[in-house]
Structure 1
Amino acid sequence: MQDNITGGSHRAEKPGTDALQKITAVMTRHQIAPLPRNFELVCEALSGGHPDLTHELAALGARPSQQALDQLGLKHRLPGHCGATAERLQTEALTALSSIREKLALGLSQKRSFARSVETAAASVRADADVGIDQLLGELDLLASIAREMVQAETLLAHEVTQGLQTLETADRAMQAAKIMTLRDRLTGLPNRAAFLQKLEEAHASTTAAHTSALVLIEICDLPHLHQQYGDEATAKLIKGLAGIFRKAIKKHDYIARIEADTFAFIFDDIDANEAHIIAERLFITAENNLIFASDSGHEVGGLPLALGHVMGQEATDALHWLSLAKTATQLARLNPRQPIIGHKPGQRQVA
């Protein structure tokens, strides 16, 4: 399995036909169950972007158990495995709660039985004042026996309640982790499009004349050509490198996301249009000065073509309109390499 896993350099995000065939072939050859989360795991391992995952999957050998695969996927926080673990823990939690309910019902039944026994014994003593000491002791022994069974049952129930609560807490943490992973871009670790749209709605809703926000889009021009020319692994390194450069170039309270394979989005609060343009220029120059990546052939490649568009929140009627205006500005920048940074102007027409 080592040769098959470590020898690949296929794009993990949206594998092409050849990559799909190779992933399927690896899974078939090593008898890995054809589950969506296993496909995701092998795809990530073959991408070359996660060397630790690649080696750990290879170390499992042929016919790895599903438990081992799930543990590996969970360790590397793959969404499919996080979700599967959360579902399993939820099922276990429901089973534990069902067992606790049954134990509670049994305990209640025992308490009722004990109460009836106490009432019977008391009634017997009241009815016959001359009841013998042996008979009285016998009834007390019976009550003591029932009480011991009740204590044992309550002790067991308390233990199961504790375990059930722990399972629920673990399931909740797994669900939260799975939710977080569905809002993260797997390649860069940045928020993805779904997370970005939530943030964009919040930013637009809070935009006022006194509190302005700017949206900046940075697009890698002709990313498919880069894939074709330099290979998937080099292109993945390029995108991860860009993400790292952009993270360092902005402040902690600024927002960055990867919303498409070739597009990064930024939201900046409390700035005007001129400041947005200056920030866009700084991002462009930072990327231009710092980005160097290696192709599959080992050659270093630079001069990455980027297109930047920016627009103020108050110029849009809603969040999606805001994004649309920014895309229009970015399209205009892409069409004019001599002016790679364009800010939206009122009345600017959509580019076909």
Structure 2
Amino acid sequence: MSSLILAGDIGATKTILALYDTTGDTSDTSSSERHNNAQGGLLTEKTFRNKEFSGLPELITTFLADQEGRPAWACFGVAGPVRDNRVHMTNLDWSVNGPALAAQFAMDAVLLVNDLVATTAGALHLPKESLVPLNQGQVDRGGSIGVLAVGTGLGQAFALPLANRFQPFPTEGGHASFAPRNQEQIGLLQFLLASLEQQQQPPHVSVEQVCSGMALPTLYAFQLTRYQEPEWMQKKRLTAPPDALTPLIIEAADATLTGALPCEPAVQAVLLLLDILAAEAANFTLKTLATGGIFLGGGMLPRLLAHIDRTHFMKIFCRGVYRDMLANIPVFIITEPKTALIGARQLAMQTKL
């Protein structure tokens, strides 16, 4: 019987696949050695651009073409809501069917999970070197953990301690309504509602629309109603393609910090995003009672570390009736870019066991 497992992180634009030999690996999340085996047995790993493939079956075929062995189990973290081990991806026109993949590639089982479920499973296996603490707090070993990932969108998931291991669960909390917390954010909501009214769209603003990579250009446009845009930035912005706006705004905010080329709207847009994240992280903590800790992942936050004021973040995080409890919650930023892949490996291992 094959000891190989296939793990994958399938996003809107790219897919990472990895093949592992798990001979002798019996690690699970209850083990005190769990951090040591996160990437154990890695044989090969490749990244693919999704637009070059018709779907996941073609991509897997390409990946396995030059591999000697064949995996018996697989787990894929997929950006979309998984139901009955099937999913139609949110920002990519791919439908993925777990049982069909298992049959096509002669595997014992193929497990599909939401990408945030994979990220949550991976977060449990990260070494401390991959975590930047915003608040050390006090870990409640019997409490749940929460994960929010600021990438293209805003993913949210949590894990409960069940049967001597943490079991991750998906949510679509990023699509819940945005709740402004001060006059600036009320102005932002009014700005977005006016835009929706002009487009004759339903008056709903989700938290993802104001706290994600795709939200940053919107936050910047709002800050242009409050701050003067420098001429150099205006020229760059007006000639940049849509998918280049978010990195451009981050670069402008970084340049402002160093004093190279000031751009106040960029800095304020980034700070607004981080303020909204702090409040939403607190909301999610309360809804899931994540006394085991909050992990903030996704590709955006490691790029914004220079802009994060830990004291200010936690002042927003610790509010309301349970401010004292919130002040004791560990909060970490994940810097490991392959957390979802690590989680997919661990979930595939559980399927094997």
TM exceeding 0.5 = no
TM-score bracket for this pair, using the shorter chain length = under 0.3
Structure richer in helix, relative to its length: 1
Structure richer in strand, relative to its length: 2
Please report the TM-score for the alignment, with normalisation by the length of structure 2. 0.23
Q: Which has the higher contact order (CA 8 A, sep 6+)?
A: 2
Please report the TM-score for the alignment, with normalisation by the length of structure 1. 0.23
